[in-house]
Amino acid sequence: MRMAENTLSVLKIAPGQHPQQVEIDNDLKALQQAVGGSIGASYPFADPVAIVYNDDGKLMGLPLNRALRDENGQMYDAVAGTFLVVGLGEEDFASLSPEMAQKYEQLFHQPEAFLKLGNRLLVLPVPDEPPAEKPRTKPPAEHDR
């Protein structure tokens, strides 16, 4: 039997941000700290990976982060708050393999915004702002004063 890893190499995905590959301790406290509360785990993919999220995220009103989609690209759920994509070992969470880290970094790369329209939820990719446009938006406000 293999010993559980002491630290895990996982993807941490915060609302409005690109995924980050981080090292966290492989214990409950570190996982809870990473997602800001009690953890839940979901296994929506065929790969040996799990999504570890704040179990009370939606109840706490945490911002919606990313949509989870079925094989047809239809959203069936959304993750609220920061979540982790972790690998699955035989009995425990494990580090993501480089291939899995790359695959899920690409899958969750684009931050998403959620708009409520009546009882429907629209999911929009948040565009990357080209750096050239940032300086132009600030100076006019300062000149107006």
- pTM (whole model) above 0.95: no
List, for the chain, all residue ranges whose pLDDT scores fall below the cut of 70. Answer: 1-5, 130-145
Q: Which two tokens stand for residue 36?
A: 């800001």
CA distance 94 to 43: 14
Q: 136 in helix, strand or coil?
A: helix
DSSP three-state, residue 64? strand
Per-residue model confidence (pLDDT) at position 143: 54
pLDDT at 128: 77
User: What pLDDT, on the 0 to 100 scale, is given for residue 130?
Assistant: 63
Question: What pLDDT score does 1 carry?
Answer: 46
